[in-house]
Amino acid sequence: MTPDASPRTLTIFLTDTPFGSQAPHTALNLAEAALAKGYRVNLFASADGVYCAAAGQKAAGLPRVGERLPAMIEQGLRVDLCGSCLQLRNLRGENRIQGAKPSSLKNLFAMVAESRALIALGK
């Protein structure tokens, strides 16, 4: 851990779609557990991971990533979405969950620098 890193901050880097693998569900379970222990938690979604913050997901029989995110954001989960990835996928503000914000790799670097641990999930 660097001297500037917070011992109570976790950053999760996610690159998988909400229904393509178990990674998004695992990411939210980890984030939920860390929030419950008093950690600050950052979730940075890149590539197809930005679809996890798409509003109105309706996949029957699968983990409901999009339905869980708003409550977790209210509990303090910071959700940043790669701005370039959003543009490439045409995922505009009105089609995203409120509180999930466009971001940049510069912000990801800052998140990682302030974190005690980084977990990367996805392909």
**Kind plus residue range of the DSSP H or E element containing 106:** helix 105-114
User: What local confidence, expressed as pLDDT, does residue 67 receive?
Assistant: 86
Mean pLDDT of the residues in the chain: 91
Global confidence as pTM: 0.90
Confidence band, pLDDT 50/70/90 cuts, at residue 105 = very high
Q: Return the DSSP state at 19.
A: T
The CATH number assigned to the domain with range 9-55+63-121 reads 3.40.1260.10
pLDDT of res. 7: 65
Element (H, E) at 119: strand 117-121
Domain ranges of the chain: 9-55+63-121
Burial of 89 (0-12, 13-18, 19+ CB in 10 A): middle
Query: So what's the pLDDT on residue 66?
Result: 84
For the chain, strand residue ranges (E) read: 9-14, 40-45, 78-82, 100-103, 117-121
